[in-house]
Amino acid sequence: MAQAPDGEERLRTASQGAAAPPSSSGPPAPPPRPGLSYSVPAPIAVIPAAPRSVRNARALWLLGFVAGFAVLVGSFLTRDWHLERLRTVVDQMAPGGDAEAVTTATNVVFWGSLGAVLLVILLEAAMLGVVMGRQGWARWALLPLLAGHVIVLAVAAAFLVPEGDAGSYVVLLWGLQLLLAFIGLVLFFMPSASAWLKSGRD
């Protein structure tokens, strides 16, 4: 049988060696690189600092709340004296009434007056928080609340303001509260405050 020449046999051997798979003992291939991202990240919203008019308005409202709460706390701590005084007032308004009915009416008048004043203060505090959240409509809501506060105090004064120096202190604190609230409300309508509130809608 004829044998292939030596050159042809060496070529066949070299081609078989080149076709052999690579050894698994080498280093692993690197992972593919991630593709480029062309998406732009969302901008970070920067909340502007409140101007001085807004900060002063908030401080005045808070001081007014302190004055109002001082009256409520003082009335609560002296509730026995107030109830005894109001019992006489109610008895004079409806003479000859039953003692139990007079006591019930006295409790309703006293606690109802305290509750009405407290409710108005809490509503004003809630609206103040909304205004500080840069909601401009809330400052308009403070207008009827402040007007209602005046009406509530005028009615409650007949039951919560005693005679003498104690009554003078109550009237002084209530007057201070209303004055501070009114000035604070005016500051919320200053141009710098209006611009800061409008930026909350942008």
Residues 26-72: pLDDT tens digits? 567 777 766 555 555 556 656 778 899 999 999 999 999 999 999 99
> Which tens digits make up the pLDDT trace of 141-153?
999 999 999 999 9
Asked if 180 contacts 64 with a C-beta cutoff of 8 angstroms, the reply is yes
Q: How far is Cα 124 from Cα 120, in angstroms, rounded to an integer?
A: 6
Lowest mean pLDDT among 24-28, 107-111, 166-170, 189-193: 24-28
pTM of the shown model? 0.74
What's residue 194's pLDDT? 93
Q: Between the CA of residue 93 and those of 58, 87, 89, 90, 102, what are the distances in Å?
A: 42, 10, 6, 5, 10
Q: Is 154 a residue whose pLDDT tops 80?
A: yes
What's residue 90's pLDDT? 78
Q: pLDDT higher for 88 or 112?
A: 112
Instruction: Quickly list H helices, the chain.
Output: 6-18, 52-77, 79-93, 99-132, 137-160, 165-187, 191-198
Q: Is 94 a residue whose pLDDT tops 60?
A: yes
Q: pLDDT higher for 25 or 117?
A: 117
Extents of the domains making up the chain: 67-201
E strand or H helix at 139: helix 137-160
DSSP state of 199: G
Asked if 64 contacts 176 with a C-beta cutoff of 8 angstroms, the reply is yes
Asked if 146 contacts 189 with a C-beta cutoff of 8 angstroms, the reply is no
Q: How far is Cα 55 from Cα 53, in angstroms, rounded to an integer?
A: 6
What's residue 1's pLDDT? 45
What's residue 160's pLDDT? 86
Residue entry with tokens 């009915």: 101
